[in-house]
Amino acid sequence: MRLEAEGVVKRFGAFQALDGATFSTGGESRVVALLGPSGGGKSTLLRVLGCLLPVDGGVVRVDGVVLPAEEAEARGERRKNGFVFQGYNLFPHLTALENVALPLREVHGFEAGAARERAMELLDRLGLKAHAGKRPAQLSGGQQQRAAIARALAPRPRLLLMDEPTSALDPVMTGEVLEVIRELAEEGQQIVLATHEVSFARRVADWVVFLAAGKVVESAGAEAFFERPESEEARGYLGSLMRWR
């Protein structure tokens, strides 16, 4: 994928979460990692790239196509993407199976039988076959997050956008979910990942966008970024995170 942003501004009230963010990913990146200190704008940028949040200024292009501002058009674009958030965000009143199958039927035009079949296929692949009939409250955190990944993957998204998919999980479940993400990346799924798991990002990402205070401070190939970070901010950030790993 090719992601480009020119002077992107996103305000929440008077606060500028994105303050003229500009970058472009070089060539064909499979996995783009959004890194940076807390409050830097990673989650906001991820939502903007996935067409989940409209911008207040600037232009965003995905594979050369400008993201639309109007809601109905944006929804069309959004439906090509899959999202996974920090807090699972499954629908608590539906079983794991229904969580996956409902959007297939209602958004992607699957027949009931085909939706069920596709949903089971995904749950099986994520090791949740035996838990398909359970509601989110009956699943562990890791299982919930894998169900959320199944839901995001079921319609074969062009981009899978994940916002700190493991930060609400304990270390065992984190490992479990990171393993899934690594496999997806190896199979060729295009992924945008906002994360604080720097060592994991280093293993899977081929491009890094580093944000601080709503601006893109560095945008570079992953190897270059981790070996020779150019900015003081990036060096400080990596240093503080690597110290304990």
Partner 1 sequence: MGGVPADETVKVVASPRNGGREVVVALGLLVGVSLAVQALFASVRYEWNWAAAWEYRAQFFQGWLLTLGIAAGAMGVSLVVGLGLMAGRRAPWLAVRMLCGGIVEVVRGTPLLVQLLIGYYIVAQQLKVSDPVVVGVLLLGLFEGAYLAEIFRGAVESIGASQREAARAVGFDAAQTYRFVILPQAMRRALPGTAGQMVSLVKDSSLLSVIGIEELVQKVKILNSASYTALEGYLPLAVAYLVVTLPLSRWAQALERRFHYET
Footprint on this chain of partner 1 (rule: CB under 8 A): 50, 52, 75, 78-79, 83, 85, 87, 89-93, 102-103, 106-108, 137, 151
**Of 35-43, 75-83, 150-158, 227-235, which part binds Mg ion (CB under 5 A)?**
35-43
**According to the binding rule CB under 6 A, does residue 14 interact with ligand ATP?**
no
Output the smallest distance, CB 89 to ligand ATP, in A: 15
Interaction between residue 146 and ligand ATP (CB under 6 A): no
Report if residue 43 touches Mg ion, rule: CB under 5 A: yes
CB 146 within 8 A of CB 127: yes
Non-local CB neighbours of 53 within 8 Å, separated by 6+ positions: 10, 44, 47
Q: Which one of Mg ion, ligand ATP, partner 1, none interacts with residue 107, CB within 5 to 8 A by kind?
A: partner 1
Residue in the shown chain whose Cβ atom is closest to Mg ion: 43
CA dihedral 21, 185, 173, 197 (to 10 degrees): -40
**CB atoms < 10 A from the CB of 239, how many?**
10
Q: How far apart, in whole angstroms, are the C-alpha atoms of residue 76 and residue 81? A: 10
Of 23, 25, 41, 198, the one binding ligand ATP (CB under 6 A) is 41
Alpha carbons 41 and 187: distance in angstroms, whole number: 29
- What is the rounded distance in angstroms from the CA atom of residue 48 to the CA atom of residue 55? 7
Closest CB 74 distance from ligand ATP, rounded Å: 17
Residues 6 or more apart whose CB falls under 8 angstroms from that of 150 comprise: 96, 100, 119, 122, 123, 125, 126, 128
**Which CB, 119 or 222, lies closer to partner 1?**
119
Binding residues for ligand ATP, rule: CB under 6 A, are 12, 15, 17, 36, 38-44, 194
